[in-house]
Amino acid sequence: MARIGGDEFAVLLPQTDADHAQSVADELVKALGRQTAVLADHSIHITASVGVTMFDGLTDVEALAYADLAMYEAKETGRNRCRDVSTGRRQARSA
């Protein structure tokens, strides 16, 4: 896992197929959704929008761009969910 900017992180899953990557993303969204941040007297429910893509012959820059696109699609379709834009796979999953 690496922070790539602002509140965005990248997780690389070597030797992982698309189904397993999607499963990991789903579990990450669910785990974060069980968390609450407390700031002074305010409680904030944690959510995550996750973009999933496979390298499938892409460069690292291209793969991150596709994952970023998928993450923004997840936000646009309701937040707190995963979106997969891997080659030949376009699906959204809500946690």
Question: Exposed, middle or buried: residue 78 (CB in 10 Å: 0-12, 13-18, 19+)?
Answer: exposed
Predicted local distance difference test score (pLDDT) of residue 57 = 87
Please state, in angstroms and rounded to a whole number, the distance separating the CA atoms of residues 52 and 81.
Answer: 11
* Mean pLDDT computed over every residue of the chain: 88
Question: Which pTM value belongs to this model?
Answer: 0.81
Q: What is the pLDDT along the chain (95 residues), one digit of tens a residue?
A: 888 888 899 999 999 998 999 999 999 999 999 999 999 999 999 999 999 999 888 899 999 999 999 999 999 998 899 998 875 454 445 55
